[in-house]
Amino acid sequence: MTEKLSHKERTRARILDEAAKAMRAHGFDGVSVATVMKAAGLTHGGFYAHFANRDDLVTHTIDRMFDDNRTMLARHLEQDDKAAGLIAYIDDYLSEERIGWRTRGCALTAMMSEAVRMPPEARAVFAAGMERYRNRLRDALIAIGHPNAEEEATSALSEMVGAATMARAFGEGDMASAILRTARAQVKQRLGLTVG
């Protein structure tokens, strides 16, 4: 049975959704309380019923962004066929469609270079989210019997985030497509995943 959210919880979720869109599109500095509240259809004065200050909003927004990552990971990695789930995850993460999602993409590709400038609490939440993400990959590799799951999860995630970030920098076009195609093939090959 799904628990019904209160009005306050729904309003808070709406604010976090808009803040996540703004942060993905414009970075850490692009999150303005006034702009986020306006996008959420709320008054600036209502902000403090939900968050102590802008840093508090940023911290909770980072966690909200990682919720999206957890949803994508679960969709792929909780399949019965773990190897097929990993292949689908890699293909999805490094797809041209996902790279084009400026306001809905991965927290890591959107915010990696910004983490160093975040307030300490937001930075800690970002690091914890990144670690949970890596651990999900490690656990999936363990499930398929990969002998170096710990190291390969770190390496694969680093390569995927790097390739996705580079492809975004190039935008649409041949170079972005080549980066994504090469990364998909290399990561799957290194992880011992058969590509049909």
DSSP assignment string, 104-121 = TS-HHHHHGGGGGGS-HH
In a domain, 120, yes or no: yes
In a domain, 99, yes or no: yes
Report how far residue 166's alpha carbon sits from residue 164's, in angstroms, rounded to the nearest whole number: 5
Report how far residue 132's alpha carbon sits from residue 126's, in angstroms, rounded to the nearest whole number: 10
In a domain, 42, yes or no: no
Domain that holds residue 82: 53-190
In a domain, 87, yes or no: yes
Per-residue pLDDT, averaged over 109-127, amounts to 87
Pseudo-torsion of CA 187, 85, 165, 109, nearest 10°? -140
Q: CATH code at 139?
A: 1.10.357.10
In a domain, 46, yes or no: no
Share the mean pLDDT of the chain: 88
Answer whether residue 195 shows pLDDT above 80.
no
| Residue, of 72 and 137, whose pLDDT is higher | 137
In a domain, 106, yes or no: yes
Give the count of domains, the chain.
1
Q: How is residue 43 annotated by DSSP? A: -
Per-residue pLDDT, averaged over 66-70, amounts to 82
Amino acid residing at 124 = A
Per-residue pLDDT, averaged over 34-46, amounts to 90
Least confident of 59-68, 95-104, 144-153, 187-196: 95-104
| Residue, of 131 and 105, whose pLDDT is higher | 131
Per-residue pLDDT, averaged over 68-84, amounts to 86
pTM score of the predicted model: 0.84
Contact between 55 and 121 under an 8 Å Cβ cutoff? The reply is yes
In a domain, 57, yes or no: yes
Answer whether residue 103 shows pLDDT above 80.
no
What is the number of other CB atoms lying within 10 angstroms of the CB of residue 32? 16
In a domain, 12, yes or no: no
Instruction: Please give the structure tokens belonging to residue 33.
Output: 């309380």
Report how far residue 185's alpha carbon sits from residue 179's, in angstroms, rounded to the nearest whole number: 10
